[in-house]
Chain A
Amino acid sequence: MSDVYILGVDMIKFGRFPEQTVPQLGAKAALLALDDAGLRIQDMEALYCGNLYQASGMVGQRILQEIGQTGIPVVNVANACATGATAFREAWMAIKAGAYDLVLAVGVEQMGKGLLGGGGAGKKGIPTEGLLGSGTMPTVFAEAGMEHARKYGTTFEQFAKVSVKNHHHSTLNPKAMYQIETPLETVMNAEMISYPNTKLMCSVNVDGSAAAVLCSEKKARELGMKRAVRVKASVMTSDPYTERDLVMPDVNTCTRRAAAKAYEMAGISPQDLDLVELHDCFATAEILHYENLGLCAEGEAGRAIDEGWTALGGRSPVNLSGGLLSKGHPLGATGIANLYEVATHLRGEAGKRQAPDARFGLTHVIGLGSACAIHVLERV
């Protein structure tokens, strides 16, 4: 079966744009991706649009109302923090199925500030937040990190080092929300949100959008492959039954299953990857995913961060964009923004943060609830 390619891909600089509408933000990324591909909206045969907070608002169609109502089929998808990757994957699958040659995928989100997750009162009764533990995202991922600490003795300092690294990476990424160094003591002394996650160990709620033009192999050959990037694997899983999953969301098993399948599909091993953009929604989460994605052996994630294996220049660079921690995490846009980051490295266009001679890169997202999406991209 022939491969699917990314012909164009881009993102807006993440930030806070309360004066813009969600479709306006999405339209910006769509036009950037079309320009990157050297194509027009009239060339697109379908649009897959990912957005979470206006999931019932026909955001994809409203993007076309901003940039060109060509009458193409539009599918709006929502899948928690895997929303953007899901839109991309649906576009990939439509081309893989032979239905289209050129498809646009857009991910967009406008976020408020503050805590995500946690329970209000149901229809009856009293709110259970702070009474039956906490369902806030910082707590859920703190508890997931503490499971690693329990097994391997991972320390608060090691978790904090993830934030130091990702904030450092984003000083080299002009499209990241922040370009600020955060030394270890700054991260560890920041306001404690949910131990061991301090405020600087929580992803940044930002507005953002990212888009990609996907294309069939036949069409890629016709249009020119010079800046094309090959999609070597696209995998999605949901959380299988595991012992504590319904009380304590298990982000590990679904990631491990997706990773195994993605490596098999791409015909590579984790050691072949030149860079990884993984779901660092909290610093604790990044540590778990080193092992889940096979970037290091079981129990070695603490050592990996201590010894700089996953930093720029290390043997397995992770989140060179700055990650969700510093680039920002506009839920529906995140999955396509990390594909943009990997594609930019594979094209050799990542400037000061370039992973040298990058051939393979992997993107990973987790939507709690849970959805895991992994893509492997290859330089052409």
Chain B
Amino acid sequence: MAEQAKASGPLPVVPFLRIPAEGAPYLEARCCGKCGAIFLGERENCSKCGARGELEPKRLANEGTLYVYSIVHRSFPGIETPYVSCIVDLEGGGTVKGNLIGIEPDPAKIRMGMPVRTVFKVAPRKDAEGNEYLTYYFEPR
């Protein structure tokens, strides 16, 4: 029965990760038509200027720079550590949180401001029904 519940491909890990029928996956934000503020996820109104119903989808760039990070050594049971939690500013606007991969979890190696790119991979976790999820990571470029 569980097999029947499975989707044909991986599901997006968060709603703002878009998986088009054709072409590469990407992150999508909402951009305020009045003030240009950028938000992740669905919303109707702008919390910067208060505009209603002016938010339009905006495809976020895959290139950005590392704003800040932390190296996480203690997390919840079952979560593998250490890993690098980071905040990335994307080119053309939009700030996203994620894991930084492809670099040693060492403060001597990680440089704030370094160029990074978004990469998409199947997550190493499945849900209770066995569905696979597509997630995003950041890596140095």
Residue of A nearest to B84 (CB): A133
Q: Is the CB of A150 within 8 A of B40?
A: no
Q: Is the CB of B73 within 8 A of A192?
A: yes
B14 at the interface (CB under 8 A from A): yes
B11 at the interface (CB under 8 A from A): yes
Cα distance A121–B131 when bound, in Å?
Answer: 14
Q: Is the CB of B125 within 8 A of A127?
A: yes
Cα distance A248–B80 when bound, in Å?
Answer: 22
Q: Is the CB of A129 within 8 A of B75?
A: yes
Query: How many residues of chain B are within 8 Å of chain A by beta carbon?
Result: 41
Q: Select which of A126, A139, A193, A246 is within 8 A of B40 by beta carbon.
A: A246
Q: Is the CB of B68 within 8 A of A150?
A: yes
Q: Is the CB of A247 within 8 A of B40?
A: yes
Of the listed stretches A4-12, A140-148, A207-215, name the one at the interface; the rest are far from the partner chain: A140-148
Interface 0/1 of A216-259, CB less than 8 Å to B: 00000000000000000000000001011011100000000000
Which of chain B's residues 91-115 have a Cβ closer than 8 Å to chain A? 95-99, 107, 112-113
Q: Select which of A125, A136, A246 is within 8 A of B72 by beta carbon.
A: A136
Interface 0/1 of B105-139, CB less than 8 Å to A: 00100001100000000010111000001011000
Residues of the B chain whose Cβ atoms lie less than 8 Å from the Cβ of A118? 75-76
Q: A118-B75, A133-B85, A244-B87 are in contact. Are A125 and B13 (CB under 8 A)?
A: yes
Interface 0/1 of A99-136, CB less than 8 Å to B: 00000000000000001001001001111111111101
Interface 0/1 of B56-67, CB less than 8 Å to A: 000000000001
Minimum distance in angstroms from A49 CB to a CB of chain B: 31
Q: Is the CB of A126 within 8 A of B133?
A: yes
Q: Is the CB of A146 within 8 A of B70?
A: yes
Residues of the A chain whose Cβ atoms lie less than 8 Å from the Cβ of B135? 131-132
A194 at the interface (CB under 8 A from B): yes
Q: Select which of B67, B72, B87, B133 is within 8 A of A130 by beta carbon.
A: B72
Cα distance A162–B79 when bound, in Å?
Answer: 29
Q: Is the CB of B125 within 8 A of A126?
A: yes
Q: Select which of B11, B14, B67, B71 is within 8 A of A244 by beta carbon.
A: B67
Q: Is the CB of B99 within 8 A of A193?
A: no
Residue of A nearest to B107 (CB): A195
Residues of the A chain whose Cβ atoms lie less than 8 Å from the Cβ of B11? 125
A157 at the interface (CB under 8 A from B): no
Q: Select which of A127, A194, A243 is within 8 A of B95 by beta carbon.
A: A243
Q: Is the CB of B123 within 8 A of A126?
A: yes
Residue of A nearest to B112 (CB): A150
Residues of the A chain whose Cβ atoms lie less than 8 Å from the Cβ of B99? 130-133
Minimum distance in angstroms from A244 CB to a CB of chain B: 5
Residue of B nearest to A127 (CB): B125
Residue of A nearest to B79 (CB): A130
Which of chain B's residues 5-30 have a Cβ closer than 8 Å to chain A? 11, 13-14
Q: Select which of B14, B47, B87 is within 8 A of A248 by beta carbon.
A: B87
Cα distance A244–B97 when bound, in Å?
Answer: 10
With A133-B99, A195-B72 already in contact, 10 other A-B pairs whose C-beta atoms are closer than 8 Å: A127-B125, A129-B75, A130-B99, A150-B112, A192-B74, A193-B72, A193-B73, A194-B70, A194-B72, A247-B96
A residues contacting B by CB (< 8 A) are: 115, 118, 121, 124-134, 136, 138-139, 142-143, 146-147, 149-150, 156, 191-197, 241, 243-244, 246-248
The 10 closest A-B pairs by CB, nearest first: A142-B70, A133-B85, A130-B79, A195-B71, A146-B68, A134-B85, A241-B48, A133-B97, A192-B73, A150-B112
A–B pairs, 10, beta carbons within 8 Å: A115-B74, A125-B133, A130-B72, A132-B136, A136-B72, A139-B72, A191-B73, A194-B72, A246-B39, A247-B87
